[in-house]
Chains A and B, each alone.
Chain A
Amino acid sequence: MTVASNVKQCLASLKGIESQLSSLALNSLDQSAKEAFHDSMLTIGKIKKDLQYRVLELERLEPQYRG
């Protein structure tokens, strides 16, 4: 396992979390729960962006792990 693949794995699980939060926000009936899930989804989206940027950086540094 390399650093790049670890970060990619984390990125993938963040994507999963984001989609689950989205579905919970849509399925919940309580307004405050809906808001909490939706806000969290947006925050996760920001973290995801940071990680995506880092993945690109890593790929540039270690081109053999591109993919």
Chain B
Amino acid sequence: MNGFVEIILRSFLFIGLLFLTTKLVGKKQISQLTFFEYVSGITIGSIAGEAITGLEKNYLHGAAAVVLFGIVTILVDYLSLKSKYFRDVVEGKGTVLIKDGKILEENLKKERFTIDELSTLLREKNIFKVADVEFAILEPRGKVTALLKKENRPITPKDLQMKMANEKEPNTVIMDGNIIEEGLRASGKNRAWLYTELEKLSVTLDNVFFGQVDSFGEITVDIYDDKIQVPAPTQRPLLMASLKKAQADLEIFSLSTDCEKSKEMYKENAAIMQGLIDKLEPYLNG
């Protein structure tokens, strides 16, 4: 019975200790980018497990080891920041496996990789044909990253020479029916604006489970009652439609008037309007 009590006490102690250590070491440990972080992560875990259940041993020994591993990890991180040489030694470098579309057999051999293992890792990235790969590298943590040849890469608006509006990250302004002041401030709005927008959607704040503001200042909400349809923001598409209508009107006026001077004026303005429509297209669609 005594053992049980001790295990419980030790568990609480190590939960606190591990929490502190991981907080101090930080997010970098979780990402386990380098070999060293990978090893120290596993080791800290097993030391803690051993120290909690190994009743015949002094638990302080285990605690010391956990703390030491934490300190050394932080020290290694700090030194890696300072020195490139140190970084190369401790964190390791990636090995190039495919270059210019050709597999480098010597490097495969050096890493003791078979071609089967390489093609498995490539298949995990949905690459089934080695010939599609321009460049592939084996990262220090054993993952393969691959750059496809240009013609095999997914098409982007840039490839199509389309002009796209830049979009900022949406800000969350309502969560669980409460206003998130931080998001509201980040999007440059205030409470009065929010209440007006909610009124436009004819919902009350209490009914909103989640609400976000996009970079055009349009709000989208999810409400608790899933049966009610909330209108999607239509301001920008509608504006595009009215721009097009005004442009068409100007063209019609220019065709129907007899006055030469006005004809010219309408024509000119219709052309300016068309230019505006082309310019605003990326911002107003979608």
Chain A residues packing against B (C-beta within 8 Å): 3, 6-7, 9-10, 13-14, 16-17, 20-21, 24, 26-30, 32-33, 36-37, 39-40, 43-44, 46-47, 50-51, 54, 57
A18 to B168, CA, bound (A): 24
Select which of A7, A37, A54 is within 8 A of B283 by beta carbon.
Answer: A37
Chain B: interface residue total (CB-CB under 8 A): 31
**Quick check: is B246 within 8 A (CB to CB) of the other chain?**
yes
**Which residues on A sit within 8 Å (CB–CB) of B262?**
54, 57
B256 touches A17 (CB 8 A): no
**Which residues on A sit within 8 Å (CB–CB) of B236?**
24
Given contacts A13-B245, A27-B217, contact A47 B269 (CB under 8 A): yes
B246 touches A30 (CB 8 A): no
B265 touches A50 (CB 8 A): yes
A36 touches B269 (CB 8 A): no
Q: How would you classify the secondary structure of chain A's contact residues: helix, strand, loop or mixed? A: helix
* Most A-side CB within 10 Å, residue of B188, B257, B269: B269
> Of residues 244 to 266 in B, which have CB atoms within 8 Å of A's CB atoms?
245-246, 249-250, 253, 256-257, 262, 265
Select which of A14, A26, A37, A54 is within 8 A of B246 by beta carbon.
Answer: A14
**Which residues on A sit within 8 Å (CB–CB) of B242?**
13, 16-17
A29 touches B276 (CB 8 A): no
Q: How many A-B residue pairs have CB under 8 A?
A: 78
**Which residues on B sit within 8 Å (CB–CB) of A32?**
165-166
Known: A29-B187, A32-B165, A50-B269. 17 other contacts (CB 8 A): A3-B256, A3-B257, A6-B249, A17-B239, A17-B243, A20-B239, A24-B235, A24-B236, A27-B218, A28-B215, A30-B165, A32-B166, A40-B280, A44-B276, A47-B272, A47-B273, A57-B262
Return the chain A residue nearest B268 by Cβ: A50
Select which of A10, A21, A30, A46 is within 8 A of B166 by beta carbon.
Answer: A30
B279 touches A40 (CB 8 A): yes
* Most A-side CB within 10 Å, residue of B235, B256, B280: B280
Chain B residues packing against A (C-beta within 8 Å): 165-168, 187-188, 215-218, 235-236, 239, 242-243, 245-246, 249-250, 253, 256-257, 262, 265, 269, 272-273, 276, 279-280, 283
CB<8 Å pairs between A and B, sample of 29: A3-B253, A3-B257, A9-B249, A10-B246, A10-B250, A10-B253, A16-B242, A17-B239, A24-B283, A26-B217, A28-B216, A29-B168, A29-B187, A29-B188, A29-B215, A29-B217, A30-B165, A30-B167, A32-B165, A33-B166, A33-B283, A36-B279, A37-B280, A40-B276, A43-B272, A46-B272, A47-B269, A47-B273, A54-B262
**Which residues on A sit within 8 Å (CB–CB) of B276?**
40, 43-44
Select which of B168, B188, B246 is within 8 A of A13 by beta carbon.
Answer: B246
Within the complex, the shortest CB–CB distance from B192 to chain A, in Å, comes to 14
**Which residues on B sit within 8 Å (CB–CB) of A30?**
165-168, 215
**Which residues on B sit within 8 Å (CB–CB) of A29?**
168, 187-188, 215-217
Within the complex, the shortest CB–CB distance from A55 to chain B, in Å, comes to 11
**Which residues on A sit within 8 Å (CB–CB) of B239?**
17, 20-21, 24
What 10 A-B pairs have minimum CB-CB distances, sorted nearest first?
A27-B217, A10-B249, A29-B215, A29-B168, A47-B269, A20-B239, A30-B166, A40-B276, A30-B215, A28-B216
